[in-house]
Amino acid sequence: MNEIKCPKCGTVFQIDESDYDSIVKQIRDKEFAKELEAHDNLHKLDKESAIKIALNNLEKNYNEKLKQNEIEINELNNKLKLQETKNELAIKDALSLKEKEISSLQNKLELSNNEYLIKEKNLKESYEEKIKTKDEQISYYKDFKAKQSTKMIGESLEVHCSTEFNKLRPLFKNAYFEKDNDVKTGSKGDFIFRDYDDDNTEIVSIMFEMKNEADETATKHKNEDFFKELDKDRKEKKCEYAVLVSLLEIDNDYYNNGIVDVSYKYDKMYVIRPQFFIPLITLIRSLAINSLTYKKELQVIQNQNIDISHFEENMNAFKEGFSRNYRLASEKFNKAIEEIDKTIDHLQKTKDALLSSENNLRLANNKAEDLSIKRLTKNSETMAKMFEELHSDEEKVKI
């Protein structure tokens, strides 16, 4: 049972547990409802206040943002107008520059057309001049061959080349240019050219073969019919180059346009018309002189490499000898060190023995110094009496 006192009259009531819980629950629910209502009212007020503050802040921020946007829009409009002005000026400048370029190109085009016409005219005149020269050469060679026998034709080409060379012989002071009369190998060329420098070192060597034939010759030869034999003669006579001076195939443009390199068939072989005889010798000789310089430099380098090789051999021999002597000396040195170590060890033992003897002598000396008549006669009355008598006698003698 629970007691409840009335707050007004002071009367005390007794109620059971269930009634007490019911009353307490009623009071609690009523108080809770009041508190909940008060809390709701307070929450509503706070909510309304927060909404008002939020709306005010939102409106303020919106106005500020709107004002900022208006400022930015004005700035962008100003920049856009400025950029449009710049673009208009750039377009005008570009158009002006393009018009100038077009005008310049038009002028160049007119000039190019004029130059092209001039070049075309010059090329045509040059080509016509070459054709005229070629026709004159063909006419000359045909007339040249028509006036001579087959034997004389070949001989005349050799004489022609020999004469042309001898005209310029002072330019080749150390050169040899003579007929090839050596038939030991079974064949021979027409001329051999060898040139030397002042040290009598061969610069270059050329085997020449001259070929010509009359128009009425029954069997017409081609230049390539003589390549194999010419290459054989070059190798047998130990010449570096082979040159066929030919009037064969006079209508073949392949051989009429200058120096023809046929080294794709035979090494270092050329075919020329007689007018290129001297130019080809000069060209090959110039290249050979440059090559000779490099060859001499290479020889010097090779000699230096040989000297370096000998130096390295001598150095390696010295290193091997030195290494051997060092090894022998090192072995003897180590052996001597071992002997010294043995001697030191022996001396150390001797020293230890001497130190031990010295200690024994010191102990003996100490014992001798501690020795006295009193100690000697300590346990012997007879000896004590004898020493006393001896002492007494000595005292009498002194008196």
Q: Which of 18-22, 305-309, 345-349 has the lowest mean pLDDT?
A: 305-309
Domain ranges of the chain: 96-147, 151-307
Give the pLDDT mean for 224-236: 91
User: Is pLDDT larger for residue 190 or for residue 19?
Assistant: 190
| pLDDT number for residue 144 | 53
| pLDDT number for residue 397 | 55
Confidence of residue 216 (pLDDT cuts 50, 70, 90): very low
Q: Which of 14-28, 105-119, 161-175 has the lowest mean pLDDT?
A: 14-28
Q: What average pLDDT does the structure give for the chain?
A: 75
Give the pLDDT mean for 330-351: 70
Measured from the Cβ of residue 50, the count of other Cβ atoms closer than 10 Å reads 10
Q: What is the pTM of this model?
A: 0.41
- Amino acid symbol at 365: N
pLDDT in tens, 17-59: 676 667 666 666 666 677 777 777 777 777 778 788 877 887 7
* Full DSSP string of 140-152: HHHHHHHTS-HHH
Q: Cα separations (Å) of 320 from 115, 258, 312, 329?
A: 79, 64, 12, 14
Pairing of strands 12-15, 2-5: antiparallel
Percent of all residues in the chain with a pLDDT value above 90, rounded to a whole number: 11
Q: Is the pLDDT of residue 8 over 50?
A: yes
